[in-house]
Structure 1
Amino acid sequence: MGYGVILGSFLLAAVLALIPMPQWLLWGRPEWVALVLLYWSIALPHKIGIFAALVIGVMMDVLEGAVLGQNAFSLAVLALLSLLLYQRLRVFSLWQQSGMVFVMIGMHQLASQWVQTLEGTGARTPLFLLPALTSALLWPVVLQVLRGVRRHYRVS
C-alpha cells in the first residue's frame, strides 16, 4: 500500500507538471515533481532516494521530450542533497524549510539549466530560477497535504 501511495503522488505531480498553461505563466510553474521527491526523501529516506529520483527523472524526460538524462540528473542531485540534509530539515521551522527548499530546488534548476545550455537551449535570463521561488512558497501546503496522506494511509 505504501509504495502505491508514493507512486500515486508522483503521478499526480507529473500531471501537474505537464498541464498546459499560458506562456506567461510557464516561467513560474512550481517544480511539482521535485517538491514531491523532496518530501518523500525527507519523510522516508530509507525508501525514496537517488535511484527513485533517476527513475522518475527518466520518466519526466520522456514525458517532457527533454534530453534523456536532464531531469534524471537534476532530480538525482536534489535527492542527494535531501538525503544529506534530511535530519536537519526535519527540525527546521516551516519557514526555514521553505528557505532550504528554495536553495535546493534552485540547485535542481541550475543543474537542469546547465544541461540545457550544453544542448544549446538554455535560458538567457535568470528567470529560470522563478520556479524555485514558487516551489518554496508552496512548500508548506505540499508538506501538509503529503503528511496528511502519509498519515491517513499509514505509509512508513
Structure 2
Amino acid sequence: MKVGVLVLAFILAFFAESLPLGPLYAQLHPDFVALLILYWALSSSQVLSYFGIWLIGLVQDLVLGDLPGSQAISLVLMLALLYGWISRVRHLPSWEQLFFVFFLLLAQCLSAWLWHAWVGPIRWHSSLLLGPALGAALWPLLTYLLDQLQKHWPRRKTP
C-alpha cells in the first residue's frame, strides 16, 4: 500500500472517529480506523506489526478520549483473528469479505467493551452490534474507494 494513501486515509479515519455529531453518531458509527487496518492487512502482502497497530490504537484512544489501551488491545486482537483466516479471506470478493469483516469488527467492539467493563461498571446496549454491522455494510464501498485512490495516486519518480 502506498504510504501517502495510508497517511491520508488514517487522517480521514481519525477525523471521522472524532466528529462531534451527537450521541447517536457516537454510538452508531463504524470504527473507521479498524476498517482501514483490515483493508491495509488484506490488501498488503506484508504482515503488519502488532506493535504498530497497538500504537495506532493508542492514538485512537487519545483522539477519542477513551480509556487508555482499550482500542489498542482490541485492534491487536482483531488483527490476530484476521491473520488466522487471511489466506481464505484475502481472495474473496469484497461483498463476501463483509461477513468476516462484521465478525472481526464485532470482536474488536466487544473486546473494547470488555476492557471498559473490567475497569468499572458499564452497561450493555444494542448499539454495540449496530456499529460493526454498519462497518461491514460499508466495506465494499470502502474497498472500492481505497483501491481507486491507490490506483490514481501519483507515483514517485525514481532518478
Aligned to 1:30: 30
Q: Is the 8 A contact 2:14 2:60 kept in 1?
A: yes
- Residue 50 of structure 1 pairs with residue 50 of structure 2: yes
Q: How many residues align?
A: 155
Aligned to 2:6: 6
Mapped to 2, the partners of 1:90 and 1:154 lie a distance apart of: 25
Aligned to 2:73: 73
92 and 20 in structure 1: CA distance in 2 versus 1, 3 angstrom threshold: same
Aligned to 2:84: 84
Mapped to 1, the partners of 2:42 and 2:121 lie a distance apart of: 32
Q: Is the 8 A contact 2:28 2:130 kept in 1?
A: yes
Aligned to 1:61: 61
Aligned to 2:134: 134
- Residue 124 of structure 1 pairs with residue 124 of structure 2: yes
Residue identity over aligned pairs, in percent, reads 26
Mapped to 1, the partners of 2:153 and 2:85 lie a distance apart of: 26
Moved more, 146-155 or 113-122: 146-155
* Runs of 4+ residues over 3 Å off in structure 1: none
Query: What's the CA shift for 1:124?
Result: 2.3
- Residue 110 of structure 1 pairs with residue 110 of structure 2: yes
Mapped to 2, the partners of 1:79 and 1:10 lie a distance apart of: 16
Query: What's the CA shift for 1:46?
Result: 1.0
Task: Structure 1: state its 5+ residue gaps.
Answer: none
Task: Structure 2: state its 5+ residue gaps.
Answer: none
Mapped to 1, the partners of 2:94 and 2:59 lie a distance apart of: 30
Mapped to 1, the partners of 2:21 and 2:151 lie a distance apart of: 32
136 and 47 in structure 1: CA distance in 2 versus 1, 3 angstrom threshold: same
115 and 109 in structure 1: CA distance in 2 versus 1, 3 angstrom threshold: same
Mapped to 2, the partners of 1:20 and 1:100 lie a distance apart of: 29
146 and 130 in structure 1: CA distance in 2 versus 1, 3 angstrom threshold: same
What do residues 81-137 of structure 1 show as CA deviations (whole Å, max 9, x unaligned)?
A: 222322211222333211111101000001100001112253322321210000001
Q: Is the 8 A contact 1:49 1:80 kept in 2?
A: no
Q: Is the 8 A contact 2:54 2:73 kept in 1?
A: yes
